[in-house]
Structure 1
């Protein structure tokens, strides 16, 4: 089939959505499909296809009834999506088991859970560094215009954090900022050498049980995670990830990581095969194709 992916990333700007769409494209092509991408500025292009796949995050796209199968994969910002918008698609995938169950009660169109994922051909342990030799607390992400708590708390309590991401100059000491950007191709090397990564979610993602793909990328590289408490994430990885709900619990997570690192790292290592099998882009593409065949 011919697929068109409507990618919310702007032209020539390599948002996370850009790389997300690139990985999807790779595995669709590998399974014999033709794939073209329309970035945000090109969304109103009326080019024909068998399947129109909209990566629904920040931007709204209105499907055109032109004979194509219109699919939404709601991967982020669920607060931005109305019930009417879900109804305008032929198939809806949602990156949350919890919210998919809720939508099934309220939307007449087929709704399926389809969590975010990783590309294990890119995200894997890149070298033979011993677990005990990993070092450093890292955070990869911009500020979103707010003081993201896990970063601020780390600095407040003197933890050895290094930050990659834009907008941090107005919130933290520049000595903690390694760079305003890191190339996607360099992230697996960073993940393979760091001791632990800090993670958090947008408020609406926590509310609706969405899990960001940073989680799966890090685990695929054998990197322990300290994350804000996300109930759906906890159901998947109750012992492999350390969770915090407030500053006090965050400090306990850091101390736990220092005291029991090899034990925590072993649990992460043990879950890598599950990440590769169940949370890969190839798995997601095959699930989409299966649901299309059932239409």
Structure 2
């Protein structure tokens, strides 16, 4: 695996296949026998020139992939975000009544965190840069190790989630939702096209702040599916939306489509 600055390394031509994960920065197609671009965020910044250089292009949004195919004149196929099914799996932990948020403040007062706290909801925040936006007592830690995330997600009453505006508008569902549900947890998120079909009642969505406050009000159990239904949804996410499942699709690109 290479970080973005290694994109132009001299030995890249020796690689049989290069998969570029397109985040906030452009990734010109490298020299390789097979090149794959997987657009996982910032769809508003993608250009026709960028996608034209790749043999295969995927995007983590079904609706945007169809729109981009028409706009750019090259096939862009949907390939949604996914989860590490070996790491994120239920372990039978008891669920608390607390709401949990994991992530940075992004330099703004994120409503998904700030508004429930203002309403007196029990929110535990894990992440940097929150001082000045929320009470210090709500900051549980400024960092969480990846190994600790599955237990944190499974034991939360619900995990709060939101999306960048462009990703919400274009149907790019956050990878955090896949991780939370795979771990046996529940989530409350801003509404993005496709969430209901993917996660059923394991993830509840809101459009406006009053809806967010209603979803975060106790008792949380009444807002979600039963434990048995949650276990089945979690199993399906781990089976259908794992890294392994995505790797099979990407290998198919190379082995059968050339």
TM-score by length of 1: 0.82
How far apart are the structure 1 equivalents of 2:19 and 2:224?
42
Distance in structure 1 (CA, Å) of the matches to 2:118 and 2:221: 20
Q: Say if 1:259 and 1:235 are closer, same or farther in 2 by CA, change over 3 A.
A: closer
Alignment equivalent of 2:213, drawn from 230, 251, 259? 251
Aligned to 1:113: 78
Are positions 1:55 and 2:17 aligned together? Answer: no
**Aligned residue in 2 for 1:28:** none
My pick for the range that moved more, 145-154 or 265-274, is 265-274
Please list, as runs of the form range in 1=range in 2, the aligned pairs for 1:38-117 lying within 5 A after superposition. 38-47=2-11, 48-64=14-30, 66-117=31-82
Which of 233, 236, 257 is 2:195 aligned to? 233
CA contact under 8 A between 2:59 and 2:76: conserved in structure 1? yes
In the alignment, is the contact (CA less than 8 A) between 1:90 and 1:109 conserved in 2?
no
User: 2:154, 2:186 within 8 Å by CA — same for their partners in 1?
Assistant: no
Q: How does 1:140-289 map to 2 (within 5 A)?
A: 140-255=102-217, 258=220, 260=222, 263-289=225-251
Question: What root-mean-square deviation, in Å, do the aligned CA atoms of Structure 1 and Structure 2 show?
Answer: 1.7
**Deviation (angstroms), 1:261:** 5.6
Unaligned runs of 5+ residues in structure 1 are 1-36
Worse overlay, 233-242 or 37-46: 233-242
| Cα distance between partner residues in 1 of 2:27 and 2:39 | 12
Change (3 A) 1:100 1:142: same
5+ long unaligned stretches in structure 2: none
Asked if 1 retains the 8 angstrom alpha-carbon contact of 2:201 and 2:225, the reply is no
Helix, strand or coil: the match of 1:231? coil
Q: Distance in 2 between the 1:275 and 1:256 partners? A: 27
Structure 1 residues 212 and 250 mapped into 2: Cα distance closer, same or farther (>3 Å)?
A: same
Aligned-pair distance for 1:257? 5.0
Deviation at 1:67, TM superposition (A): 4.2
Q: Which consecutive segments of 4 or more residues in structure 1 shift more than 6 A?
A: none
CA distance in structure 1 between the aligned counterparts of 2:19 and 2:33, rounded to whole angstroms? 10
- Deviation per CA, 1:45-80: give whole Å up to 9, x if none: 13221111111001112124x342111100111112
Change (3 A) 1:257 1:113: farther
Structure 1 Cα separation of the partners of residues 210 and 228 of structure 2: 25
> For the residues of structure 2 that align with 1:265 and 1:167, how far apart are their CA atoms?
35
Structure 1 CA distance for aligned equivalents of residues 146 and 78 of structure 2: 26
What is the TM-score when the length of structure 2 is the normalising length? Answer: 0.93
Q: CA deviation at 1:277?
A: 1.2
What does the per-residue CA deviation read over 1:3-42, in whole Å, with 9 as the maximum and x for residues that have no partner? xxxxxxxxxxxxxxxxxxxxxxxxxxxxxxxxxx111222
